[in-house]
Structure 1
Amino acid sequence: MRIVITGANGLIGRSFIARFAGQHELVALSRSAQSNFAPVGWHQFDDSPESLQAIFSGAEGILHLAATRPHAIRTAIQQSQVLKNEQLDEQVFAAAHRAGVKNVVYLSSRTVYGNAPTPWSEATQVAPKAAYAEQKLAAEALALKLNKSAAMRIKVIRLAQVLAAEEFEGGLIRTFFDNALTGRPLNVTVEGMQREYIYIEDVVSALMQALCSPQQHGIFNLGSASQVSILELAQWLAQAVQKPELVKLQQPLKRVDENSLMDSSKFYNTFNWHPRYTVQTAIEDAIARRLPGNRGQDGEL
């Protein structure tokens, strides 16, 4: 299967390529010059619609991951970056249509639900709280319009927070993994937060399953269907490195009422897929992949 991946140099793109290179014909697409995509094909996107259409021509599926993430957006440039995201989504969908590629998987976000009561289903009234989430909703609306008017088969994936040791530097997950592996304290400063995470290995598996269902289309939640607290994350990481003493509660804990949980049964049933990992087994696997001489559950470093 020939699959073009936009945003191939991001966390999910790199993980997808590492998992499926050699099994499918993967074409990596990035805005910046790269040399680390072997053994897949690579193209640098030059912002022209003609360039995108030429790259998409002959593809059997497009995995559209490219976007400027919230952690990379600074207040002064937020609106311009969000506008660039929106313009890129429009370009990708239009180029796919012109190239005759109907099978597109588009990565949206759980943030479109804002603070709506959980669990969130695809029918839950969205309540975006930031420009990034509003832009994702605009792209979702365009995808649904093209599915109806142009017989496209765009699958919009509202993704839960990704659990990965390689998360962006400075993020909670990355900091916890780095500290656990180097014997530094896992400082827990808040209580009340309950988040849904999905392991990066499950994410790329699910995205491939969606790509392998070219006739499906619509909006789908994708998560692990479970919540964990920050304290549980710290405890499981400490257990995984056999150093429970690393967990440190910084009293008094700050109360932060945050709750995220999606109903992902539509995705599970439509694509005959379920998560392989719980958050705890995901942490164990991620630690195993980082320790010298150890391998994860898939037998890969």
Structure 2
Amino acid sequence: MKILITGGTGLIGKALIAELINQHEIHVLTRSVRKAKKHMPDQVHLTTKLPKDSKFDFDIIINLAGEPIANRRWSDSQKEKICRSRWDITENLVTRIKQAKVKPSVFISGSAIGYYGRQPSTTKVTENNDMVHPEFTHEVCRMWESLALQAENDSRVCIIRTGLVLAQQGGAIAKMRPAYKLGLGGPISHGQQVMSWISLADHIKALLFLINNEKCQGVYNLTAPNPISNNEFSQTLAKQLNRPNLFRMPSFVLKLIFGEMSDLLLTGQAVYPEKLLNEGFEFSYPELADALRTLK
């Protein structure tokens, strides 16, 4: 099949391409072909522009593009960059899908569990949860999803609300590991905030599940079925690395360093992948310890 991927140089995009490349024709939309070549197999077709008219003939479109949300403080200009890098490409893709003579069979578009905003740790957050907390991450994801869902009359649309992705290279673990290696790791603030995570392997497995199952459509939480408190996460990570878990990071330090962006670390939500499980998906790593064990 002919597949278009945006965000192909990101953590998830690279892993997905590695999984698909031997059986499909992969096209990646990128801002820089030269930079993307460093991360892509030679067989990948790279382009800086969406093809027009009859050349827009993809069987599958997977939209993962977006400025990393946790790379720097949320100044007004950075917030605008985070939003526009998601909204603009999604809007352009939907326009092309509507104009295409041959529609893609499925359009998978990114989102995040930030859609729900901060939630009480005792609240089990499923896809049907409508008690969202109005904050920046919710506004980003709300518009992102709304734009993608405009393609529903033309293609099967799946929205993926992704949690904290755990991978050997890159992602959250790569940022946490150095502190633990130095013996300086520990919980964040009170540590009661819930972390909804998913292994990279299960994330890719879930994407393939959504692609291959024609009955799948709508919003999906891409998180493992066992969210965990930051205290428990820190303790489990320290145990896997055989390092201490002693140095609790005060909230005021994070607020001083990261400003509003510190909310990503100080708040959370207990997200549950109800739709995936109900539709028959099986996680390879439902427990955190098992997932972390593969990342050593």
Shorter-chain TM range is 0.7 to 0.9
Aligned to 1:248: 246
Give the whole-Å Cα distance in 2 for the aligned partners of 1:42 and 1:109: 27
Give 1:284 shift. 0.6
Q: 2:66 & 2:234 partners in 1: Cα distance?
A: 30
Residue-by-residue CA offset, 1:142-163 (whole Å, 9 max, x unaligned) = 333431xx33211111122212
Question: In structure 2, how many angstroms separate the alpha carbons of the residues matched to 1:233 and 1:261?
Answer: 13
1:262 to 264, 267, 271: 271
TM-score by length of 1: 0.79
Q: Structure 2 matches for 1:15-164, cutoff 5 A? A: 15-33=15-33, 34-35=36-37, 36-46=39-49, 51=51, 56-57=56-57, 59-72=58-71, 74-81=74-81, 82-99=83-100, 100-117=103-120, 118-147=123-152, 150-164=153-167
**Unaligned runs of at least 5 residues, structure 2:** 253-264
Judged with a 3 Å threshold, the aligned counterparts in structure 2 of structure 1 residues 106 and 126 are, in CA distance, closer, same or farther, namely farther
Q: Which has the higher strand share?
A: 1
Q: Following TM superposition, by how much is the alpha carbon of 1:87 offset from its aligned partner in structure 2, in angstroms?
A: 1.7
For residues 42-87 of structure 1, give each alpha carbon's deviation from its aligned partner in whole angstroms, at most 9, with x where no partner exists: 32223xx5x3666642x22111101123224641313432134212
Percent same amino acid at aligned positions? 22
1:214 is displaced (CA, Å) by: 3.9
CA distance in 2, matches of 1:133, 1:53: 34
User: How many equivalent pairs are there?
Assistant: 273
- 1:179-190 paired onto structure 2 within 5 Å: 179-180=179-180, 182-190=181-189
**8 A Cα contact 1:28 1:37, kept in partner:** no
Whole-angstrom CA distance in 2 between matches of 1:238 and 1:226: 18
**CA RMSD, Structure 1 to Structure 2 (Å):** 2.8
Give the CA deviation at 1:183: 4.9
Match of 1:31, as an amino acid? R
Structure 2 length as normaliser, TM-score? 0.80
Q: 1:125 to 1:94 in 2, by over 3 A?
A: same
CA 1:237–1:32 in structure 2 vs 1: closer, same or farther (change >3 Å)?
A: same
| Counterpart AA for 2:284 | R
RCO (CA 8 Å, sep 6+): is it higher in 1 or 2? 2
Displacement after TM superposition at 1:253 (Å): 8.9
* Stretch moving more, 186-195 or 272-281: 186-195
SS in 1 for 2:246: strand
CA contact (8 A) 1:110 1:159 kept: yes
- Separation (CA, whole Å) in 2 of partners of 1:10 and 1:253: 29
